[in-house]
Structures are given as structure tokens and as C-alpha cells.
Structure 1
């Protein structure tokens, strides 16, 4: 059996501390003496780190044993023979549900990128699934110990312990974070994954609200609930909820997703995730439990809706408004190219460029007709040439939805039929518009039980594209997207409509969301075991993309949950005019800065590792 099952958490931490010092003394020396300055967090392997007895005393007060998180590929390195847990890892490596719910998921990240540690001298500490690469399995960026919280009391005990010992703290539910904010090297983990309570309310009155303030059909989700579980609960009532869309529906429904804003294919119809929150509960760095809403501690409630996950405390629950279900239309199209005279991997193919440019041009028209959803540009596995996948939904009652989409399909087919050989052959497949009973049928058919988007080495860049830009200069947008030279590009209608009608100052989210129509995402990939030079080359592509879109959208913004670690001015990019107010709320509710995440509110006061104050 795997080592994790043979030892207690405290025994494993003791073993790991000895082996870690032997294997990684060079990296450990980076942290030596930090805690003695009075400006730095106390980290694992430092003399100030709590003793085994101190951890044992903490464990005695908790409802669960302490965690000893390990890398997801650890079982493949614990013995020379293939064991059951390793077989599961190999089989389900790109399955988001497994990565967040396996027996070892406390140490899992949805993207292996952020489980690895990239040392200043260029070496990488990780645990690769491919053991033939010959690298040792190291802890990397995974915290060595943590608390599996099951109650508010557990959270309070964990926070009090971390504050008393000045520990670096990370908060995690599923690890589904594209900037690695839910993990950190040598830190102390607060794992909310098992806060799985779900309560449906026929009527809901927020705490402290005046008499007569009642919402119907609301649902309260514990911060460990994932969208698969939340959707099932809501669909059973014949309702829908604005939620995240991903293969396997593994994203957390009441954690970082909503605190970062929460986009969705349903957002143009019903607003973003933050626009649908009625109440939240949270434990802050002083150990206090807060019930916050528009009537009770509204400043903290405002900050939690878009101010970024992992920054304000440990969220315990979120109460959302649900919506009636109604029939929808679902549009599907796949377009691929065959252009042997063109260098593989480029999108500079006349037929493909014409197709995408037309899509950009008509996007405002499609959005006005009720369409929302996802377009992805990916390289073909066989040729490396680009192909485009369109997956949109619209209310079946939208009068022009079907005709506007049919017009685009007709354009694509005409382009395919009339293309000259030197322009590249265009193939249009699966161009269809289906009538479905509702969002539930669409989500269950297209995403439930599916794999993908996770388990790969990647980093993201992104930008919000305002509607005015698409209307005034669609060619420049298409050129910028196709000129990225990045394998995966997403072009998502997750704004406009109801998103644009919300008061920009009602939540902490960047007001740029209210002018946006498209969320564009770009993500280079690299193979497991790649050198830091290769990884840095991929990161340079992200920086190139960011520069291109900043030039197109000066003063604009990006989505906090799907962005990059290289924003030149993250304060403006993620929050715009709201940042100074967020700073004030942060100082009020977390004066000791216990909760700090990359490019989060207040992170500019800390070094690059977020371990020492500047």
C-alpha cells in the first residue's frame, strides 16, 4: 500500500522533514533565518516551525486527524511494482473529479504546474507521473501538513493555531486554481473540501434583513460543495443556478469561483455568480465567524463578491438565488483545416482566418440574439493545424437566436465550399442547433462525467474584451487572437446581457465586467519534465498575449480566476476603481495579513514568494 496509508500525518511530517533536508538543502537554505527577522512567516524546515507536540495538541482538539498532503503521483514512486493507487492516477490523471476527490486529493492541484516548485537557481522540485523520467518524487509546492475542516470550530482552531505560530496559510477546496493560489511551499493548509452541506430554501430571509425581505428558491452550499453536487440539488427542484462549467463539474461552487466573480454560460441571462449571492458566512483571521449580506457587515459582503479567493478568511457557506428552468437551444459546430503548405501550428490560414474574423464580427449580434457559451481554438492531434469548436446556448424563446446562428453556419459552409486549395481546405462538421428541455440537459450531456482541461502543464493569460471594441474593430480583435501563437485559445461569451445591467459598484468585481462581452483566454502547454527554459518560453507567450490585449483594451481588465501571474498592474486589471476600497476592507478584517495569495489584495506588500513583508 502507499506510504500515505502506513503512517499518521505527524509521523509522515517527521519523516518528510528529515528526507527533505537531505534532498533539498540548497532550496531550504533560501528560507533560512526568515522567521528571525520578524517580517516573515514561519515555514516548514525552519526552527520556528511548530513541534510535533504542538501539532499533536492541535490535533487533539480537531474533529479529524491532521493531514499530510502528498503529490498526486506519489503512489507511483512508493514501490517498484505498480499498485492500485498508481494505476488510478495513470488512468484518471486528466479527470477533474478524481484529482479533487481521490484518497490523496488534499495534496492535489487541478494543474500539475502549481504542484511543482521552481527554484531561483532553475531546478524544479515536483513529482511526475512518468517515473521513467528518473526524477525523485518531491513535495514541491504542496504544503506538508494541514487541517481537514468539518465545522466552524475546526476552522477557528486552525486559524488560531496558524496566527499564533505566524504560519504561511493557504485555503483549498478542490485545488482548481489556475494561478496556484490554493497551494504553497512549506505552508499550512486549511482544507474545506468536506464542508459538503446543501440546504434548499423555499423562502430565505437574510440575517438582519428587514421584515418582509424574503427570497424564494434559494440554496445554501458549504464551501466544499462542487458544481456537480450543486447542480444535482438544484436540478432535482426543476431549477437552475448560475455556476461554473467544466468537464466533470469538479469546480468548487462556494469558494474561489464565486469570490473571483464566477463566470458562466448562464451569466448573460442571469448575471455572474457574484450577482446571484444572497449571503455568505466566513471565519476571519481573528477567529470570528461572520454572517454577511447586504444588511449585515455589507463592506465584507461586498469584498467577498469579486475581491478574490483566499484573501478574506475561510468561507464556510454561500447562499445563492436559483432561477426557473426553461427550454433552450444548443448550437454545436466544429471547423477544421487541412493546409499542408502552411506551417503546422499556425492559425495564419486564409480560410480559418476568414471564419474566425466573421465570428468576431457577428458576436455582438449573436449575443443580442441570446447566445452565450464557448468557442475554443485548439491544435489538431494529427497535424497541429487549428480547429475551432463552438458550443453555445440560448433561450428557446429568443426570437432570432436560431436564424442568427444558421446564418453563421451558412457562411462557414460557403467558405468551405468556395475555398481555393492554396487557402487551405476548411471542413465544417456537426453544425447543428438542437432543442433541449433546459440547461440541465445541456450540462449533463456535454460536461458530466467528462475529462479534460486538467492534469496538464499550463499557465494562463486572459483579457475581458468590451462590446464596443468588437463593434468598432473586430478585425484587430481577430488578428490579436490568431496572432498569439498559443496552442489553446478560448473566446467565451460569458458577459453582456444581464451582466451589463448590474450596478458596477454593487460588488467588488472590476467594473470592466459590465462593459465586457468576451472573456478571451490563452494557454500554452509543456510536457512533463520540461526544463525551466522551456517553461519560461511558454510564459513569454503568455506575456506577449497580455501585451497585445492591453494595447487593444487600455484601462480594461481580466478575470481574477483565469488570468496570469505576470500582470503588470494586477490591482487595476482585477479590480479597477474598487482597489482602494478593497485595501481598506482587507486592513479591517485581516489586519495581520494571514491570508495572502498571488496577485491578491494586499499581496504587493509581500515578496515574490509571499513569505516576507517588504
Structure 2
């Protein structure tokens, strides 16, 4: 059950050395551990006078449970909230997946601060940046960026810490924390900056600051009578204007309204020159192309995102589960039948998620703008198939459909309500691998796909993320990997481990995940041999050229991001 909870969380869940690129030989960032280059205290004092908030010194939140703890530390509070995604997002030193707070040295020793104090190991900083800026405005970000460039610091951009590749942390780095950039505005007739004055746009748009989370964005949309395309996670704690959208952003509404990037009208961001840019189809259109799918933390520090919105619509929630498959053959038949049904569901613009292994199957589907009768008619043949396949075999089948007045009410009742500590799986150790499945494969080889996924032996989460409106967008109109336009499903598998597991045990889990690469092609994971093709497809070269224009000093380097292959494994030093 722990691994199942971890996987469901990960699904829901996920961006002065001006001649750095041109100077031959390795070039290293200055890290906190190097007193020969780290800025002196008076320089940090000077920086603090330029900021709206005091500098922050992020620490692992678990440090409150170690004497002598931070005077403001409250171990009981940490224990109660450690698995609450929204609480973790509010801590500058907390990552949603605990393992990204830790650091494994080359000799196998681990620097970490475990919640389980009985392990008898000291509380250490791990990969949590030791100092940073609590940015509340673009001006705060400008000051932080200029300071980082001046002192050649390794920069980490963090909003909520949900990034599942660990891009929100970095040992010895300088953090730009955008979580408290909470501005929201609504425009009933949004006109992109630089757009032609004689053109009527008529777009009802929400502009979200970089720290806005989906629970806040959905509530804002509801207050204006609008729907915004966004993610689903326990408590809706994922950031709405940070890494989620910069990576593409799939949603249960994507088959109806497209991916998050398909709904973006404008960005504002701070580049490595400390310039504030407004970016849209008319202003810096090359960067607008790149930001829509080119990856978070890569081109600059995004300070706001403006989304197109949609009118409210009723929706039906479909819930189906099968417990205790009596045989692998029955499991295979159910999963195969579901995968064969997915193209039809995509044409109906359904979204949702299925989870399954050899003993379990569940499906939570969302059918926007669909009556209860229409939803039942679409799913009933599959339900009948499941009941017939399991008749007399001892399985437990549960099925229900629930109508809601709007998608927001559905979110509030079924997703946001799961945000408490007892329901969320934040605070665990875990990594994942995933793959997009194109429509053609599901139409012709669904049995092979089912056999392959079930044969891996782990719980699979299968997201109904594509098709419908997603497939109708010109794949070259934005920087997102073109593979999304042919994809229907997104299959995800995760591996986890307990606190205190040594490096050998952690590497065993990682090797298990690596082993999936031999079975499933083009997986997107920490272990990609060719992340450029997997994440960005044939858009990579153009993305790289745009990065070089707007970030010529390579300040913004993230794990498996555009240009990261120029750097060593830790992203500390540029390769010779």
C-alpha cells in the first residue's frame, strides 16, 4: 500500500561569468562549501537591502526534531504534517519527495535529516540549499539573479518543490524561492502585450503568480465563473505557474481543452541578464515557443503565467475498482479491454487515471459536459465485461457514477478533500519512470501493452492525458515534444524506499527502475540515455539555440534540461 500511495502521489504529480559558454576547459559554479569563492557576509547584507524580505536559510523541516532544534521548530507539527503536500510546499527547505532533500556522496555516505530520529544518524543539510531569496516580486528576482551571476553561484528555482527529478534542490546552491508570489488577477478582455490594437481577442484570462498552487487557481477561476486547465494531486498542492506548465502540463481536462501549455497566453520572467520580459505570441515569440514545453528552470525565472479560461461545465465522475484478481489471465483481460477502450474515451474527451497490477484495477474517470445517462452508456459495456470476466472467481467489483454541477465541484469534493496528512503521500522517498503511448499502439496492440505493463510486476498508473483537443494542436507551434500530439496514455511506475536505507539499497531501487528501460522504450526518467529525444523530440536543437540567446551564461541548468549535457552529473562544473 505504501508503494501504491507513493505512485498515486507521484502521478498527480512532475527551470560575472559572461564568457562561460565560450571559455575552453571546465568551469565550475561556486558552492557554499568553497570559502575561496563564496560571497562574504557583507555582500549578502548588501543583497538583503535590495529585497522586500529578509534572506532565508532553508533547512530540512525534519531538523525541528533534532536537539538543539531551530527555536521556531515544532517537532510535533512536523510529524503531523510531514505527509501533507500543502504544508511541505510552505517550507522553503522541504521537497515533496524526501529523497530530494538528501545527498549521496561518491563513497556511498548519505547526508540527510530523517524524520525518524531513532535511526541514530545526525541531521545534516543534504541537498537543501543553505541560503536564498524569498521572492515576492519580479524586482526581488532581478536582485537575486544579478547577485548569482556576479558571484557565479549555482542557482536553484523552487516554487512548491514537487519536481520529480529533484530540480528544486541542489547541494550548496543559492535558492530563488518563488512560492510566495501569490498574485492573481482576472481580465475579461485580455490583450497580449504587443498584440495588434485592431484585433479583438475576447479572451477571459487568469494571470497567476509563480507561487500559486492549483487549489488557489481553481478557487479563483470559480470565483469568476470560469474553468482553468490544470493538474490534479492530493490537496491540489502542485504549482500552477511553475514547472508543471513549463513541462507541458496534462490534466483530466486535456482531452477537452488541451494541455496546460496549449492554454497559455503570456508569461513574464526574469532572464540571466536580470531583465524582466513579457513573453507571448507578439513579444519574444521565440521564447514563447520555447517556454511552452521546453522545461522548467531552463530559460529564466518565471514570475507569472496568464491562462485562457473556459466556461463552467457539468461533469460526471466514474469510479470502478476490482480487488483480488484470482488469476493473471483475468487481470490481463481486464487491462487489455480497458486499453482498447481508451481511444473511444479520448474521442469522448474523457480524462482520468487507471491504476493496476496483477491483483488490482481501478479507474477514476472524468467526463466533462456529459450527462449521467451518457456517461453510463459509454462505460457500461466495459463494466459488464469486467463483471462477466470475474463472475464466480471471488473478485470484488465496485462501480459508481456521480454527476456534478461543475468540474470545480468535482475537484473540491473528490480531489482537494484528499489533501490532509492521512491521505497524501508527500514526504516519502521515491523516483519514477514513465512513457507516452501513441493512439496507434493502443488501437492495434493493446494486448501486448497490457502484457508488458503487467509483466513488470509493479503497480502501474495509466493517465488518460491525450487525444481529443491535445491531438488537434500543430505539434510544431510550440516547444513541447511533438510526441504528445499522437499520445493518448501516460504510463508511470515508481520505486520507493524507507528512511535510513543505505546507498546500496537505494541504488537497487534505481537499478530496478533502470531495468524498465530495457522493456519500455523512450521512458522519461532520471536514467534516460537520450533525454534530449525523450523529453523534447526533434525540437531540442531549436530549444537549445533559444536558450543560448536568453541565457548566454548558462545560469539556469537543471537535471535533464536543455543544455544540461554540457555539465557534469551534479551540474556543478561545465565539461571540458
Q: Distance in 2 between matches of 1:78 and 1:494?
A: 46
* 1:513-592 mapped onto 2 (5 Å cutoff): 513-550=484-521, 563-592=524-553
Which of 321, 332, 352 is equivalent to 1:353? 332
Verify the 8 A CA contact 1:260 1:306 in the aligned structure 2.
yes
Q: Distance in 1 between matches of 2:498 and 2:331?
A: 27
TM-score (ref. length: structure 1) = 0.86
Match of 1:203 in 2: 189
Cα shift at 1:181: 0.4
Match of 1:437 in 2: 405
Verify the 8 A CA contact 2:349 2:467 in the aligned structure 1.
no
Cα shift at 1:61: 1.7
Cα shift at 1:572: 0.3
Q: Distance in 1 between matches of 2:284 and 2:349?
A: 36
Match of 2:20 in 1: none
Segments of 5+ residues of structure 1 without an aligned counterpart are 1-36, 340-347, 379-384, 420-424, 551-556
**Structure 2 CA distance for partners of 1:250 and 1:586, relative to 1, 3 Å:** same
Please give the secondary structure, in 1, of the residue aligned with 2:525.
coil
Please give the secondary structure, in 1, of the residue aligned with 2:519.
helix
Verify the 8 A CA contact 1:108 1:115 in the aligned structure 2.
yes
Match of 1:12 in 2: none
Cα shift at 1:402: 2.4
**2:566 pairs with 1:605:** yes
Which of 463, 483, 504 is equivalent to 2:435? 463
Cα shift at 1:396: 4.0
**Structure 2 CA distance for partners of 1:80 and 1:249, relative to 1, 3 Å:** closer
Q: Which string of whole-angstrom CA distances, capped at 9 and with x for unpartnered residues, describes residues 172-223 of structure 1?
A: 0000110000110000000001110000111100000012242331110000
Q: Which string of whole-angstrom CA distances, capped at 9 and with x for unpartnered residues, describes residues 10-29 of structure 1?
A: xxxxxxxxxxxxxxxxxxxx
**2:265 pairs with 1:291:** no
Match of 1:375 in 2: 354
Segments of 5+ residues of structure 2 without an aligned counterpart are 1-24
* 1:100-249 mapped onto 2 (5 Å cutoff): 100-101=89-90, 105-211=91-197, 212-249=199-236
Please give the secondary structure, in 1, of the residue aligned with 2:144.
helix
Please give the secondary structure, in 1, of the residue aligned with 2:89.
helix
Aligned residue pairs, count: 546
Verify the 8 A CA contact 1:337 1:352 in the aligned structure 2.
no
TM-score (ref. length: structure 2) = 0.92
* 1:502-517 mapped onto 2 (5 Å cutoff): 502-517=473-488
Q: Distance in 2 between matches of 1:302 and 1:482?
A: 38
Q: Distance in 2 between matches of 1:531 and 1:585?
A: 41
Deviating runs (4+, > 3 A) in structure 1? 79-84, 396-401
**2:413 pairs with 1:427:** no
Match of 2:259 in 1: 272
Which of 486, 498, 502 is equivalent to 2:469? 498
Match of 1:452 in 2: 424
Cα shift at 1:547: 2.6
Cα shift at 1:418: 3.6
Please give the secondary structure, in 2, of the residue aligned with 1:448.
helix
Match of 2:9 in 1: none
Match of 1:9 in 2: none
Q: Which string of whole-angstrom CA distances, capped at 9 and with x for unpartnered residues, describes residues 502-536 of structure 1?
A: 00011100000000000111001111111222211
Q: Distance in 2 between matches of 1:407 and 1:78?
A: 60
Cα shift at 1:360: 1.4
Q: Which string of whole-angstrom CA distances, capped at 9 and with x for unpartnered residues, describes residues 573-609 of structure 1?
A: 0111100000100110000000000000000000000
**Structure 2 CA distance for partners of 1:82 and 1:208, relative to 1, 3 Å:** closer
Q: Distance in 2 between matches of 1:246 and 1:465?
A: 22
Q: Distance in 1 between matches of 2:244 and 2:530?
A: 22
Which of 352, 365, 368 is equivalent to 1:395? 368
Which of 336, 340, 343 is equivalent to 1:364? 343
Cα shift at 1:338: 6.1
Verify the 8 A CA contact 1:484 1:541 in the aligned structure 2.
no
Greater RCO (Cα-Cα under 8 Å, separation 6 or more): 2
Q: Distance in 2 between matches of 1:362 and 1:490?
A: 16
Q: Which string of whole-angstrom CA distances, capped at 9 and with x for unpartnered residues, describes residues 284-343 of structure 1?
A: 00011100100110001111110000111100100000001111111001211065xxxx
Match of 2:452 in 1: 480
Q: Distance in 2 between matches of 1:590 and 1:252?
A: 24
